[in-house]
Chains A and B, each alone.
Chain A
Amino acid sequence: MCLAIPARITAIDPTGATATVALGEVSRECSLALIEDAAVGDYVLMHVGYALNRISPQEAQQTLALMREAGVLTDAGG
């Protein structure tokens, strides 16, 4: 029920109410009613046809860096 998938905004309609998003090779309509200042190229979490939030690319990179670091530290420690 709470599943949401990362989708990339490929176009925004002139009213700003809905966007076309890409989920891999699949294209879908997505409501922008729940977020503000969406822009083409943004990644959003899509849930039951609505963008719930934007995904922060910086935070995602930082999370992956922390994950790498955790593994490296263990290897170094034996």
Chain B
Amino acid sequence: MKYIDEFRDQHLARGLAGAIAAAAHPTRQYRLMEFCGGHTHAIFRYGVADLMPANVRFIHGPGCPVCVLPMTRIDHAIALATAHGVTLCTYADLMRVPAGERRSLLKAKAAGADIRMIYSTADALRIARADPERQVVFFAIGFETTTPPTAVAAKAARAEGLKNFSIFCNHVLTPPALRTILATAGPDGVQLDGILGPSHVSTVIGSRPYEFVPAAFGKPIVIAGFEPLDVMQSALMLIRQLNDGRCEVENQYTRAVTLEGNRKAQALMAEVFRPRETFEWRGLGFLPDSALRLADDYADLDAERRFPVAIGEVREVKGCECPAILRGVKEPTDCKLFGTVCTPDNPMGSCMVSSEGACAAYWSYGRFRKVEG
């Protein structure tokens, strides 16, 4: 397919690998954090990590919305479907994510709750229109990429006067998470030299919001596409910045990302959502202004207001290293549960479930690398 095949070309990959090997000084370390789970999967699926010299390493970041969602929010969603009896519409990614006491949406569905997997917010609206007597809640999750479609659905529900549709909002923002990673980096946290910046998030927000990365933290960042050649070229751009002593926001993904981003999508988000004072991220803790809620004008569509739910404390699975893995401090293979009790068939932590999670990437493409190496 156009714009996919050419960015997976093996001859170009070989050339880029040679350029990276030639550019990387053997005497220094290049620890590059790929922010997004999409990058992590490209790195493992296409063997990009194996094309790098030993001193160019990828460190996996927290850019997986399913992985960073705290278990209490899944429990909250389950309570909406069970205690309040609503029809809960969710993207499929969330179905198997473990909640407290080994619950999950899939198990709740199996036990009779009306939980439906949908592809698009348009499907949730369709389900609400088809049965006006049933309350339909859309489980909204995702970074800035996935937020604008939720805003469109909110506006459509308002325009149609759909009384039985509401939104359980869990949208989170990328820059605050990146800021937290950088603020805690160093001897006690993750050690990194540069950032591969978000790909499709940046098509919406543009490359400008990352200016704090070089300005406040002195680290270079390259906005990187999700195809393997994009990741390799971005790594080369970071290596060159580090070699030259430069520290800038550069954009590798110019075919889809501009400085300003998608203003129409930004305006929709600004109309429908407001920042939450604080929101919990798995692994990163409570971060101020890091997530969105529905704006007061749209409060009638807010499922948290329409259906009160009280969730107590939820215990993490003992031994699960998802929080440290999400901070880049540990690798999946550092976790005792990895590949033993925790597998994609029987996941203990969110990083093994999500198609973007680091543990799922290691399991699918890299679990024998160390053994063979």
Contact = CB atoms under 8 A, between A and B. Distances in A.
Interface of A: 1-6, 8, 23-24, 31, 33-36, 43, 45, 47-50, 52-53, 55-57, 59-60, 62-64, 66-68, 70-75, 77
Contacts, number: 147
B64 to A, nearest CB: 7
Interface of B: 1-4, 6-7, 11-12, 14-16, 18-19, 21-22, 36-38, 63-66, 91, 93, 119-123, 141-143, 145-146, 148-149, 152, 198-201, 203-204, 226, 229-230, 233, 236, 252, 254-256, 262, 264-265, 268, 354, 356
B contact patch SS: helix
Contacts of B265: 34, 52
A45 B200 contact: yes
Most chain A CB atoms below 10 A, which of B14, B120, B123, B141: B120
Nearest to B39: A2
Contact of A71 (B14, B37, B65, B264): B14
A63 B236 CA distance: 13
B73 to A, nearest CB: 14
Contacts of B200: 2-4, 45, 47, 52
A49 to B, nearest CB: 3
B44 to A, nearest CB: 15
B12 A71 contact: yes
B1 A24 contact: yes
Given A1-B142, A34-B264, A49-B122, 8 more contacts: A47-B146, A47-B200, A50-B120, A50-B149, A55-B255, A57-B255, A71-B14, A71-B18
Contacts of B63: 2
Given A34-B264, A63-B254, A73-B19, A49 B12 contact: no
